[in-house]
Structure 1
Amino acid sequence: MSTNIRKGSHTVIRLTCHIVWSTKYRYKVLQGDIQARCRELLIQVCEAQEIEILKGVVSPDHVHMHIEYAPKLNVSSIVKSLKGRSSRKLQQEFPVLKKRYWGNHFWSSGYGAWSSGNITDKMVNEYLEHHRRKDSNDNSDFILE
């Protein structure tokens, strides 16, 4: 797993998340050549957008990906690109899918996304608590106790 940090002239960033989406009706069609091609297509989309795949699994009826991405991107647009291109290409290349998925809807409409990273919520809260001025009346806290 990479721990590369993206650096700009004024920024230090590492954004990672775990995303999951499934085939429409949870049909177990991601097997054999279709599964292999799906994997290739997802890798192509990620390479084109400079998204690093930290780990990923193409299961028979869903996909899991743990990715690292640039701050100019957002999770919604990443998933849209992954699902859109893979759906289009898979249905073009495998006519059996077009028969099963009328209306060109290969993936279910939703997805799940969870942020991940190097630090936990507890670590962030401890860091903020450390920097809080307890003896001051400047009301610098966003959440008052």
Structure 2
Amino acid sequence: MFVTKYRRKAFTGEMLTRCEAIMREVCQDFEAELKQFNGEEDHVHLLVHHPPKVQLSRLVNSLKGVSSRYLRTEYDAHVRRYLWAGHFWPGSYIAGSCGGAPLTVVPQYIENQRRPV
């Protein structure tokens, strides 16, 4: 999951569609596959399958860097109302691994965790 800088609600539906296309191209360059993409006004969720030879940090850096450059260029007037100083994404991100488990099992696995009292 990537959130916009300061969690600003900068995305429109059109921008999310464009962001998905950009991120699909970046994944292809890394021999990875963007299996699922969706987002809201202030964040995007990606489900990516990448080969073990690909460093996650390099992939994320490219996903965020390339999408930021294109989105800021193509939607400059809109983006400037929400974000400034040349940043679209903050430096952080959330990544999780499902290690081969069927994707339908992952939410169930999380729900069934035993929380300490």
Equivalents in 2 of 1:34, 1:55: separation in Å?
Answer: 16
Paired amino acid for 2:64: K
Q: Is the 8 A contact 1:21 1:62 kept in 2?
A: yes
Residue 10 (structure 2) aligned to one of 17, 23, 29: 29
Q: Superposition pairs for residues 1-145 of structure 1, below 5 Å? A: 20-96=1-77, 97-118=79-100
The alpha-carbon deviation at position 82 of structure 1 amounts to 0.3
Query: Structure 1: any 5+ residue segments left out of the alignment?
Result: 1-19, 120-145
The alpha-carbon deviation at position 99 of structure 1 amounts to 4.8
Structure 1 vs Structure 2 CA RMSD: 1.5
Secondary structure in structure 1 of the residue aligned to 2:10 = coil
Secondary structure in structure 1 of the residue aligned to 2:17 = helix
Paired amino acid for 2:89: W
Secondary structure in structure 2 of the residue aligned to 1:118 = coil
In terms of fraction of residues, the more helix-rich structure is: 2
Number of matched pairs: 100
Hey, what does 1:129 align to over in structure 2?
Answer: none
Equivalents in 2 of 1:30, 1:76: separation in Å?
Answer: 24
Equivalents in 2 of 1:35, 1:67: separation in Å?
Answer: 17
Secondary structure in structure 2 of the residue aligned to 1:113 = coil
The alpha-carbon deviation at position 38 of structure 1 amounts to 0.9
Paired amino acid for 1:71: P
Equivalents in 2 of 1:95, 1:82: separation in Å?
Answer: 19
Query: Structure 2: any 5+ residue segments left out of the alignment?
Result: 102-117
In terms of fraction of residues, the more strand-rich structure is: 1
Instruction: Give 4+ residue runs of structure 1 displaced > 6 Å after superposition.
Output: none
What percent of counterpart residues are identical? 37
